[in-house]
Amino acid sequence: MHPKKIASYDIWDTVIRRRCHPDAVKIHTARDLLFRTGNAIRPHLRDPWLLFHLRQSIERQIGIESQSKGLDDEYALPLVLERWVKQVTVEGFVITPTLIKELIRTEIAQEKYVIYIDPTIHAKFLSDGAKKRIFISDFYLGKEYIFELLKHINADKFFDDGYVSCDIGLNKRSGRLFQHVLNIENQPAQSFFHFGDNQHSDVNVAHRLGLNAELFLPHDEHTARIYKEKRFTQRKHTIRAITSPKHQEHDNEIRTFAHETAALFIGFILQIQEQALAQKLEQLFFFTREGEFFLKLYQTLRATSPYCHLLPEGVLLEVSRLSTFGPSLRRLDETELMRLWNLYSTQSPRAFLKSLDLCDNAFAIFFEQYDLPLDVPVQYPWSDHRINKLFKDPSFLEKANAYLDTRKNLFLAYCRQIGLTMETKHCGIVDIGWRGTIQDNIAYIFPDTKFTGFYLGLSKTLNEQPQNTSKQAFGPNLNIENTKEARALLEFVAPIEMLSNSTSGSVTGYEQKDIHIVAKKLIDDNENRVHEKFTSIYQKYILEIVHQNREALRIEAIGSEEMVPLAINIWSDIIQKPNLSLANAYFSLMHNETFGVGKFISKSDRLDYFWPIKLLLIPSYRPKFKKILNELAWTAGYAKMRNDRLLLPITKKIYKR
């Protein structure tokens, strides 16, 4: 037998390199398991990092079992996955071969997304002088899968054959895989030239067995590998770095602010995607107005999602509390109207009519009959004897119900146009928050449809919740955790609304135009001017940041649960450490409070410069001062805008909102 020169190569970090740490791929598979099995995962294990660590434990256990059989501590992915799924799912869950195959394909697909061929390995192939070239790899996916990955990066053509530890139960670390290859190839050890990146496994052990071996550590790629490992072990810094402003971008205050706050919105959209997959939603509706911005973010991230084909496209649903409350009323009486009065316990008849989208002129006569002037507020309307009499008046009820039926039919026709019908079984809705009352309204209109709501934050609900609704928040949810910290985030929410707003105006109802039903809008020019000067610029930068970093999010397998701590800190800073540009824009707005209050509210020029003296010397000024603070709806922002150094210390010490 004449020896022929055989070149053997390690695979990982020699021929194939990843754009991430290897375990980031396993984190991705852990999330995939959550998406596929949903509630079958034991409740205390529904976290991808817990699942990942359990998988590592199972890999070690199988390795120990393999050693007890006289082999090396190797494991194959199919067996790992089967045990993994069995350990983390509830009793009685059936593990099918199809599920295991799907998880394997998920892992391979993610590997394909993150791998690339080492840029210097071609030169080594050209100079190795081999008559035959093979790979020898310690890995948990077999030879056929390694060839599949090599083909993906157009490197399979360089290899005649290959050996993988999981196929044989032996590895390079012990030297037994090398010995196995020598026996199969039936060539002397000195005819082999092995190249790899591990000093022990690829060089020292190979030399001990008589093979020629060379350490393959190209400087640039090895340096990049160390950086990727550091990036994985320091996830918090990695997540922050993904959206941090670059040096050249510090000269633009709004751009810098966008970089500082982008993770809040990215995390929210990632959670929506994850839940849409886990709950297998076929439809996802984004509520105006903030939903217009959220939909753009969703579509941008969806484009690079590995689950793009499974995620619903997302549809804009033009709604408001004003446009949906009246149509949602099941009957017109004091009990049903508590859904409104629980939020606004003092309300004028005119504000009441506007909240139901009923024409003032058509109903003024009824209120006059019962001594209810249109512009005089009524405290606790449900207990007012005049209101009680009004709601027993057949003429009023007949006319009001006719108006409400017309509005409901228009809304139903509008919904049919965009795919929401009485036949819809389960869909998701997206809105900014804060009590989810629009979702409640729509749920009453579509009683046989299950609505799952995704919100940035949720205040404590005041009304009884429809049975066909569920709500979850990315940030604070006072219905689950009513802590001081959570309440502080939801105390001033209008600035968060402004960051997410649009120029399309508030929906006031629906009307027929040609063959279509369209939403009627109340558009405020002052509000849109502010949007053009600040909000639109801010949102443009946020979208750019998402577009620039969406691939990094996928490569690193970053999930929404990892972004929550950073997002909460960002939210707190927006409210408690205001950005001056945001504060100036916010306090130049007229805020739409048509639903409930019945008018627009100005937030500017509320306190004069002598307020500290008045507060100190004039006791009668103090109730007015407290009322002004409530109406400002953002004390820290007002102090920043006015450069008032006394406002926050005094209000924190003396008053609680």
Distance CA 135, CA 121 (A): 13
Task: Record the pTM.
Answer: 0.89
* Residue type for position 64: I
50 with 164, same domain: the answer is yes
Q: Extract the residue ranges of the chain whose pLDDT is less than 70.
A: 1-3, 245-251, 590-606, 653-657
214 with 333, same domain: the answer is no
The alpha carbon torsion through 561, 566, 567, 569 (nearest 10 deg) reads 140
- Residue 115 in domain: yes
- Residue 1: its pLDDT value, please? 45
- Residue 314 in domain: no
- Residue 510: its pLDDT value, please? 93
152 with 39, same domain: the answer is yes
DSSP secondary structure of 361-381: HHHHHHHHHTT--TTS-EESG
User: Whole domain around residue 618: which residue ranges?
Assistant: 605-654
**Whether the Cβ atoms of residue 127 and residue 100 lie closer than 8 Å to each other:** no
Q: In the chain, how long is the greatest CA-to-CA distance?
A: 115
Joined together, the tokens standing for residue 573 give: 């800073």
- Residue 642: its pLDDT value, please? 82
Report the domain count for the chain. Answer: 3
225 with 356, same domain: the answer is no
222 with 327, same domain: the answer is no
- Residue 193 in domain: yes
62 with 200, same domain: the answer is yes
229 with 346, same domain: the answer is no
330 with 229, same domain: the answer is no
- Residue 657: its pLDDT value, please? 45
Element (H, E) at 509: strand 506-513
**Whether the Cβ atoms of residue 154 and residue 112 lie closer than 8 Å to each other:** no
DSSP secondary structure of 254-288: HHHHHHHHHHHHHHHHHHHHHHHHHTT-S-EEEET
Distance CA 612, CA 225 (A): 60
Residue 3 CA: distances (Å) to CA of 25, 129, 179, 183, 211: 40, 14, 16, 13, 13
- How many other CB atoms are found less than 10 A from the CB of residue 42? 14
**Whether the Cβ atoms of residue 322 and residue 355 lie closer than 8 Å to each other:** yes
- Residue 271 in domain: no
229 with 373, same domain: the answer is no
- Residue 124 in domain: yes
- Residue 457: its pLDDT value, please? 96
| Of the residues 233, 255, 289, the one at which a domain ends | 233
CATH of the domain at 162: 3.40.50.1000
Which own/partner pairs from 643-647 qualify as long-range (CB within 8 Å, at least 24 positions apart)?
A: 644/607, 646/612, 647/607
**Whether the Cβ atoms of residue 273 and residue 307 lie closer than 8 Å to each other:** yes
- Residue 523 in domain: no
- Residue 249: its pLDDT value, please? 54
- Residue 273 in domain: no
| Of the residues 177, 206, 233, the one at which a domain ends | 233
Beta bridge partners of 451: 427, 469
Decide the pairing of beta strands 590-593 and 599-602. antiparallel
| Of the residues 233, 264, 291, the one at which a domain ends | 233
- Residue 599: its pLDDT value, please? 53
- Residue 596: its pLDDT value, please? 47
- Residue 132 in domain: yes
